[in-house]
Chains A and B, each alone.
With several copies, the nearest count.
Chain A
Amino acid sequence: MKKLINDPADVVAQALRGMALAHPELRVDLENRIVVRGDAPVAGKVGIVSGGGAGHEPLHGGFVGPGMLDAACAGEVFTSPVPDQMMAATQAVDGGAGVLHVVKNYTGDVMNFEMAAELVAAESGTEVVAVVTDDDVAVEDSTYTAGRRGVGVTVLLEKIAGAAAEQGRPLAEVADLARKVNAQGRSMGMALTSCTVPAAGTPTFELPEGEMEIGVGIHGEPGRRRVPVAPAREIAAMLVEPVLADRDYTGRQVLAFVNGLGGTPLIELYLMYAEVAAILERSGVTVARSLVGSYMTSLDMAGCSLTLLEVDDELVRLWDAPVRTPGLRWGV
């Protein structure tokens, strides 16, 4: 394992320390491992809290700031944070208008956020609503299973809900918007290489030279199938087609998001985006907005994911609204 780390068991806290030093505008609670917006709580504003296992940077801590998240909780690498952290974050951002929990659909994340909400309810009057993201079409869905994983749409949801909260909208409205974003978003990912969890020290899965994994999860969960490495043009098709098959975006306006998984440089992501855009055009899908970069990584995994989000004028306005975070910044 080759990584810029010290003790493999102590990566998260040390990275958080660096983030705190690099972003004095944020409040980083190294004890609770939560990143909080510098001016939190913002009186009268709905607070937005997210969190999850570390290893997906800049998600979530890098999206804390005006126009996006009020706080983010970091768990161990790929392990959900605990209720105590979520409680501390919720209390830190409670401006009196309630708090939205943005939760990626993984059993651990969902249950820990649930317990946190129960504990908050027991201890304070803070109103908490949780919205769960589950946009990964690689996992076939069913009410009997844990359902789909929350992936790329989480980034878009945090931005859009954050903009709505910044406008002073009430919790119910912000939550409805968040649910709408999740409902209108779909994602599909692929890996050229496995990630290596520091504590494990070896790649999570074996992916020989010449092979790639289609439908991989952001924790290195195996995907739908393993196929020979193909040109970007064909890879783009392997990502776009299942997304369009799951939800018909034909004739719709979308936000197209090509996300890097950590080990893939920007030059390749732009090239992939060109291929994705070409397929979307042929399929009669109109790209209203785009995002290309590594925003939700899987440690050092090489590969990318595609997320499509159907947008209307309101969602576009909220997407364009000012945001000032380490990971996303514009219009401010």
Chain B
Amino acid sequence: MADLVDTAALTAWLREFARSVAAQKDALTALDAAIGDADHGANLDRGMTAVVAALDAAPPASPAALLKQVGMTLVSKVGGASGPLYGTLFLRMAGPAGDGLDAAGFAAALRAGLEGVVARGKAELGDKTMVDALSPACDALDAALGGGAALPEALQAAVAAGREGRDATVPLVARKGRASYLGERSAGHQDPGATSTVLLLEAAEAALTT
């Protein structure tokens, strides 16, 4: 069944995410320069390069093993805020993953990842963080699948919702992360983490729907 997200599919997803992070590295860093410390692109690129290297070195046997390996790699290679956050996202996804995910299972795993990010970072919707992109994406994914859509269309909806959430961070005053030190001065800038989260969703749409 086309909707089964197996090890190969997840590998493709993460390779695609790594590719687009590398491509968007400078753009992400530029966003972070405006309201943070100009390293988000470098941080994620360092992490995803290591993730791909690990996938090449030892292709994991199961989706759970793969997601765990990805999470641990990010945690131990990235540092900063995004290391624990993206690391936790994948570590939590590993739980439900087992040795294969159907569409609903993938949505559930992604939501588990979101919950992990929130538990770790204590950010709420509107705090101008990656949660502002990931949370609406999870909702859209669930809604679409609940409405009978197949994974491809559902991921399309998730990407659209994620982009909306990302764009909505622009006017916000940051309440979490470095940007929060700027207070009012953080408004008018797009959040780097929400931006990289959209890249993750776009990578899923590209890799999991073919």
User: For window 35-78 of chain B, which residues contact chain A by CB distance below 8 Å?
Assistant: 37-39, 42-43, 75-78
Q: Are A111 and B37 touching (Cβ within 8 A)?
A: no
- Give A147's nearest chain B residue, CB to CB: B180
Q: Are A82 and B185 touching (Cβ within 8 A)?
A: no
Q: Are A84 and B176 touching (Cβ within 8 A)?
A: no
Q: Which of A91-99, A215-223, A255-263, A281-289 contacts B (4 or more CB under 8 A)?
A: A215-223
Residues of chain A with a CB closer than 8 A to B176's CB: 107, 145-146
Q: Are B79 and A75 touching (Cβ within 8 A)?
A: yes
Q: Are B84 and A114 touching (Cβ within 8 A)?
A: yes
Partner of B84, one of A78, A115, A149, A221: A115
Shortest beta-carbon distance, A139 to chain B, in Å?
5
Shortest beta-carbon distance, A297 to chain B, in Å?
16
Q: Which of A64-72, A154-162, A196-204 contacts B (4 or more CB under 8 A)?
A: A196-204
Q: Are A144 and B181 touching (Cβ within 8 A)?
A: no
B76, B175, B177 — most chain A CB neighbours (10 Å): B76
Residues of chain B with a CB closer than 8 A to A106's CB: 178
Q: Are A112 and B79 touching (Cβ within 8 A)?
A: yes
Complex CA gap A81/B38 in Å reads 17
Partner of A80, one of B80, B87, B175, B185: B80
Q: Are A79 and B180 touching (Cβ within 8 A)?
A: no
Residues of chain A with a CB closer than 8 A to B42's CB: 199
Does A152 sit at the interface, judged by CB under 8 A? no
Q: Are A108 and B181 touching (Cβ within 8 A)?
A: no
Q: Are B79 and A80 touching (Cβ within 8 A)?
A: yes
Binary interface profile of A, 121-147, with partner B (CB < 8 Å = 1, else 0)?
000000000000000000110101110
Q: Are B75 and A115 touching (Cβ within 8 A)?
A: yes
Q: Are B180 and A82 touching (Cβ within 8 A)?
A: no
Shortest beta-carbon distance, A265 to chain B, in Å?
18
Residues of chain A with a CB closer than 8 A to B87's CB: 115
Shortest beta-carbon distance, A318 to chain B, in Å?
31
User: For window 168-204 of chain B, which residues contact chain A by CB distance below 8 Å?
Assistant: 175-178, 180-183, 185
User: For window 88-144 of chain B, which residues contact chain A by CB distance below 8 Å?
Assistant: 88, 120-121, 127
Shortest beta-carbon distance, B64 to chain A, in Å?
17
Q: Are A221 and B178 touching (Cβ within 8 A)?
A: yes
Q: Are B83 and A112 touching (Cβ within 8 A)?
A: yes
Complex CA gap A144/B84 in Å reads 20
Residues of chain B with a CB closer than 8 A to A200's CB: 38
User: For window 181-206 of chain A, which residues contact chain B by CB distance below 8 Å?
Assistant: 197, 199-200, 204
Shortest beta-carbon distance, A90 to chain B, in Å?
15
Q: Are A78 and B76 touching (Cβ within 8 A)?
A: no
Residues of chain A with a CB closer than 8 A to B183's CB: 140
Complex CA gap A139/B185 in Å reads 12
Shortest beta-carbon distance, A49 to chain B, in Å?
16
Residues of chain B with a CB closer than 8 A to A78's CB: 37, 39
Does A76 sit at the interface, judged by CB under 8 A? yes
Complex CA gap A130/B171 in Å reads 35
Residues of chain B with a CB closer than 8 A to A144's CB: 127, 175
Q: Are B38 and A108 touching (Cβ within 8 A)?
A: no
Complex CA gap A103/B42 in Å reads 23
- Give B83's nearest chain A residue, CB to CB: A82
Q: Are A82 and B81 touching (Cβ within 8 A)?
A: no
Residues of chain B with a CB closer than 8 A to A199's CB: 39, 42
Shortest beta-carbon distance, A177 to chain B, in Å?
27
Q: Are B81 and A108 touching (Cβ within 8 A)?
A: yes
Q: Are B177 and A107 touching (Cβ within 8 A)?
A: yes
Additional pairs, 20, CB under 8 Å, beyond known A82-B76, A84-B76, A221-B178: A75-B79, A78-B37, A79-B39, A79-B79, A81-B79, A82-B83, A84-B75, A107-B176, A108-B83, A111-B84, A112-B83, A112-B84, A114-B84, A140-B183, A145-B176, A200-B38, A204-B38, A219-B37, A220-B37, A221-B37
Can you give 14 contacting A-B residue pairs, CB < 8 Å? A80-B80, A83-B75, A108-B82, A111-B81, A112-B79, A115-B75, A115-B87, A146-B181, A199-B42, A204-B38, A219-B178, A220-B37, A221-B182, A222-B185
